[in-house]
Amino acid sequence: MNDRTCLAIVLAAGDSTRMKSSKSKVLHPIAGRPMIAHVMAAVAATGIADAALVVGRNADEVTKAASVEGLSVEAFLQTERLGTGHAVLSARDAIARGYDDILVTYGDVPLVTAAPFLAAREGLAAGNDVVVIGFETAKPTGYGRLIVEKGELLAIREEKDATDEERKITRCNSGLMAINGRKAIELLSRIGNQNAKGEYYLTDLVEIARSLGGRTSVVDAPEAELAGCNNRAELAMIERFWQERRRHELMVSGVTMIAPETVFLAYDTEIGQDALIEPNVVFGPGVTIDGGAVIHAFSHIEGAHVSAGASVGPFARLRPGADLAEGSKVGNFCEVKNADIGKGAKVNHLSYIGDASVGADANIGAGTITCNYDGVNKHHTDIGAGAFIGSNSALVAPVNIGANALVASGSVITENVPDEALALGRARQEVKPGRATVIRERNLAIKAAKKAAKDAGR
């Protein structure tokens, strides 16, 4: 197929009324990515280089979301909604450039993969003028039925026009198809609108092509892969299908998930062999987990890299820019943002490390924070290899803590600490015997007075 040129036409101009949303439905995310981007990525995976994007609502935003690597996208505005055939012809200028194949898909089928597109193009290469992508379903009601005889697709029959016998057919039309690019303008121009809605239906192409002596056929794809999205319930269903598929791919590749149904992945999440993912973990975009890492339960990770043998959580949050080296640990109720955690370093409990570098084998005590923000600008903290930061310390950036330095518990550090030094940044402790009793009695008297005043006012 490398010697055949192809144009993908992606229809994304719908008004999305059933989505009940202030934005186009194709902008709604699946696995952290607009659904239109999933479709475009599947198109790009076939090796197709050119795409015509038919847009309407939120045209600029949709066009931006549809821009994926490896695909040149040209947008065409559809100002009227006169059916699928009319929508495809909105890209007439692109079609007229003379491609061998024209592939038509929709912007709201984010589960689609490259496989049915490739199969449809193979059908064109075999001499068909129209190849429809279909599916088998146990619930065909509402779908157009594919009338096939001896391997030839004779027609697509809409349910309202089908006979009782035709309604028993379970092989249905997905709406996706491939068209002979050399005949596309002629075929599309012959579509009429003599129907109840006065619209131009792309499905008429099958009978038009056959009336001109052309061949038509069907290739099949899994029903779930062709699911479209029209409302929030279907959006949730598609998200579920996408997650199930990706989890399965990762587990087959050697990733252990104890309760996979509770793990949520982003479109670009990468997890290496022998990594362990415990229950209730959420991955946002931009995450790479190397082989052998452990992500404990209830952790949330976005824009981060976790190296081999590192451990995260439980109840940890890694924000964009977090980079954990081999054997490092970020423990329970810790947050790391834009920070490098060195090899073997430990951030074990209840700490915030932001805009920082933590050296190899350093230990960050419970409750430690890097004070990185002054209300206007962010500042960096450097913690040297082997440093020990005592619990409940505040490191006020910009500040450097030297290699093998010690910071006493409860310190507020505002100046650099040299290598091997001990830093104490806290007030000297004083003990006042009996003072606790005086303070407690005073506070109880204040409380009693308030209650008496309240009772008197009733």
Among 248, 349, 379, 380, the active-site one is: 349
Task: Return all residues near 333 (Cβ < 8 A) that are at least 6 apart.
Answer: 315, 316, 349, 350
Say which DSSP state 350 is in.
S
DSSP-derived 3-state class of residue 99: coil
- Number of Cβ within 10 Å of residue 29's Cβ equals 17
Residues 308, 290: Cα–Cα separation, whole Å: 5
Task: Say how far residue 358 (Cα) sits from the centre of its chain.
Answer: 30
Give the residue among 52, 69, 284, 94 at the shortest CA–CA distance from 185.
Answer: 94
- For the chain, helix (H) and strand (E) counts, in that order, are 9, 35
Contact 96, 188 (CB under 8 A): no
Question: DSSP characters for 352-404?
Answer: EEEEEEE-TT-EE-TT-EEE-B-SS-B--EEE-TT-EE-TT-EEESSEEE-TT
Residue 349 annotated to the active site: yes
Is there a contact between 401 and 407 (Cβ–Cβ < 8 Å)?
Answer: yes
Q: Are 406 and 421 in contact (CB under 8 A)?
A: yes
Residues known to be catalytic: 349
